[in-house]
Structure 1
Amino acid sequence: MLKLSRSLLLLLLAVSTLQAQSAKAPIRVVIVGLVHGHVQGFLRDFQKSQDATLVAIVEPDTALAARYEKKFSLDHSLFHTDLEETLNSTHPDAVLVYTTILDHRRVIEAAAKHGISSMVEKPLATTMPDTLAIRDAARKYRVHVLVNYETTWYSSNAQALRLAKDGKLGDVRKVVVHDGHEGPREIGVGPEWLPWLTDPVKNGAGSLFDFGCYGADLITVLMHGQTPLSVTAVTQTDKPGIYPKVDDDATIIVRYPKMQAVLMPSWNWSFARKDMELYGTQGMALTVGPSGLRTRFQGEKEESSPTAPALPAQESTSLKYLAAVLHGEVKDLGDLTSLDTNVTVMQILDAARTSANSGHTVNLKPLPR
């Protein structure tokens, strides 16, 4: 009896070990689209990743696919042209979407029907109808839909938000967020990217959507998902010879009870920047790059420049985070990547576009859950 119990125990331990190893297995991912330039970062990194395995790339433009195959020395067998065929033949855990923003809904809905989760590049969508359709698909098929922002993986942002959450800044009254660069053409955005990035239908707007989403994402998390009272925005095109169809500069004022946020997305900065300033009744926190901060608290005569603590390993890169979510190790609720956060982000962006076009402030109400 003792031997039987010991054998059973060893068997259970072996099964438990296998299950744990299986849970940590790299997730299988399919890249959908090669027209979004951010895909290059993933292609540079995936071969050394222990978190994900690339099983296919879907790109209907065979000439573009051939360029990427050569540039990144990719196996020709990875490439497909039809999304549905690829999902049926490869059975991935998730799709990484690098299409136009307009195409996000189509890809997410197609993947969701197979029970496959999605991670898309920011922002989530171009319109509120598409946003709500994405939310409906995620709920119906019980899949994750995540939005990847570069600034999510900045330890400086995490620490600034933590200082606010822990009450170290007092009541936050003013937030200022600067995002952007010199302009997509000026920095050499590729020919597969620039045409749709500067198209008001395929991208939603110009700098307003391209960089306004970063600040909207950060303040939504800061405000615990609360819907703003109102949004007021102005846009302009300072370089009409380059960007005739969309804005290249915008200012968005987002009003909450007892707090205002000013978002400054632009394709007219003299250099690339992504930084945030939080001002509270007891202190301030200003982010400096991915890991730096400037802080000053009530009673202090000078600023300090601490380095933010490193992010937890599971939350340090988009692939690590996606794998942790799919393994059930991280809950994607109310954070910078989560669907619920990004539905509110889209409310802000949509209201900002309406405000800029109409010249009037747009009042908002929480969406039905």
Structure 2
Amino acid sequence: MNRKLISVILIILTLMVNQSSAQEQNKSHVKLGIAGLTHGHVGWILDAMKKGDVEVVGIAESNREVAERYAKQYGFPMSLVYPTLEEMVAKTKPEGVTAFGPIFDHLHVVEVCAPLHIDVMVEKPLAVNGEHAQKMARLARENGIKLVTDYETTWYPTNHLAYQMAVDEKKLGEIRKVIVCDGHQGPKEINVQPEFLAWLTDPKQNGGGAVVDFGCYGANLITWLMQNQKPLTVSATLQTMKPDVYRKVDDEATIILTYPGTQGIIQASWNWPFSRKDMQIFGRTGELFAASRHEIDYRLAGEDKETKKELPERLAPYNDPFAWFEAVIRGDIIVSPTDLSSLENNLIVVEILDAARESASTGKVVHL
């Protein structure tokens, strides 16, 4: 084959690759709706909308004052906002809906969207309790929709390296202990939005205080590491260290999970001196500390010091919840039952949180 022919082939291949890349970049966005604006994390999707990274066709929010504040902040027209979810989905026909309201309202979102075959992503946790979670799961399965749960920590590259090392490659040996710490100084102390604080500290709307707000992260990560194995037992202690601030809910939670040969400890708090989302894994022959989204250190058998790494972001769409949700809706990504966002994982998360509240109230270990 002469050089001229080889050059022509290379040019054609390059053009084909570039065209494919351009088509991927120009692929139209999935039409998304937002159910609720009262969750403090809603700024993530509103910011993505402002940048043109997602297409939001409608917003359901009954609190017009809240909607107007966000409309001014992010520059979207109030014509996008509808007073009810039912009206929003009927008039805008989204392909997927993201839920950013009270956890108690997640069931209603699925009740409205599932019969219309609209996929749903809820902001963590899946549900306020097991009863709601099971109803949501049944509706999702009967109507064939994707029902997924978003956690900030799902997109941390450090957590995925931790899983790779501990589970896939077994570099730490058998996992003996996992400690997950999440939280901050307290929602009031860090000045969350008043509408967010109102339901975050309501035991009906949120299901509890720090035990739900931050306990769900540890339950999600440990369930993932244990590949959806349920714990044998759950025991928990809940405290309210600032009763003058949090009169109705706990602000401090410690949950202990036991598995054959493994223990999981979840420390969820509104009393940390600073914000944190970190995880430690101790195996028989090594240990690992995922200190933040990008920082991780580990020490393996035979090593006399720790290895420290700063990781880059994961490749798209695995670095962004909304790009990932779009890919799930399109069918480009199939959610595995053991994935962090899966329905199966998050049903176990809610079961753990239910058991933790029961243990704390009765003073007894709960067997699952």
Q: TM > 0.5 between the two?
A: yes
The corresponding residue for 2:108 is 106
1:307-345: per-residue Cα shift (whole Å, max 9, x none)? Answer: 235423121110111011112121212111111110011
1:270-318 CA-to-partner distances (Å, cap 9, x unmatched) read 0000000000012111012101111000111111102235423121110
- 4+ residue runs over 2 A deviation: 20-25, 47-50, 307-310
Q: Which residue of 1 aligns with 2:364?
A: 360
Query: 1:76: Cα distance to partner?
Result: 2.0
| Match runs of 1:48-197 below 5 Å | 48-50=51-53, 52-165=54-167, 166-197=169-200
In structure 1, what is the equivalent of residue 9 of structure 2? none
Offset, 1:206: 0.4
Q: Aligned pairs, how many?
A: 346
CA offsets 1:177-236 (integer angstroms, 9 cap, x no match)? 110000000000111111110011110110000000000000111011111101000011
Q: Percent identity?
A: 42
1:351 aligns with 2:340: no
Question: Structure 1 residues 141 and 22 mapped into 2: Cα distance closer, same or farther (>3 Å)?
Answer: farther
- Unaligned runs of at least 5 residues, structure 2: 1-15
Aligned to 1:292: 295
* Contact 1:230-1:362 within 8 A present in 2 as well: yes
CA distance in 2, matches of 1:308, 1:176: 21
Contact map agreement 2:67 2:78 (CA 8 A) in 1: no
Structure 2 CA distance for aligned equivalents of residues 25 and 327 of structure 1: 11
**TM-score for the superposition, normalised by structure 2:** 0.91
| Secondary structure of the structure 2 residue equivalent to 1:112 | helix
Instruction: Give the whole-Å Cα distance in 2 for the aligned partners of 1:117 and 1:211.
Output: 25
Measure, in 2, the Cα distance between the counterparts of 1:34 and 1:85: 16
Q: Deviations over 1:155-181 (max 9, x none)?
A: 011111111121111101000011000
Structure-to-structure mapping, 1:221-236, within 5 angstroms: 221-236=224-239
Amino acid at match of 1:243: Y
1:350: how far off?
0.6
* Candidates 249, 254, 277, aligned match of 1:251: 254
Q: 1:21: Cα distance to partner?
A: 6.4
SS at match of 1:146: strand
Contact kept in structure 2, 1:159 and 1:308, CA below 8 Å: no
Instruction: Tell me which residue corresponds to 1:10.
Output: none
Instruction: Tell me whether 308-317 or 80-89 shows the greater mean CA deviation.
Output: 308-317
C-alpha distance in 2, partners of 1:262/1:22?
Answer: 42
Q: SS in structure 2 opposite 1:74? A: coil
Check whether the contact 1:159–1:309 (CA below 8 A) recurs between aligned residues: no
Return 5+ residue gaps in structure 1 as ranges.
Answer: 1-12, 365-369
Query: Is this contact kept in 2: 1:24–1:327, CA < 8 A?
Result: no
User: Per-residue deviation at 1:145?
Assistant: 0.8
Following TM superposition, by how much is the alpha carbon of 1:23 offset from its aligned partner in structure 2, in angstroms?
10
The answer as to 2:316 corresponding to 1:313 is yes
Deviation at residue 55 of structure 1 after TM alignment: 0.5
Mapped to 1, the partners of 2:185 and 2:87 lie a distance apart of: 40
Question: Partner letter of residue 343 of structure 1?
Answer: L
Alignment match, 1:7: none
**SS of structure 1 residue aligned to 2:122:** strand
| Root mean square deviation, CA, Å | 1.6
Partner of 2:244: 241
Distance 1:285 1:330 in 2: 29
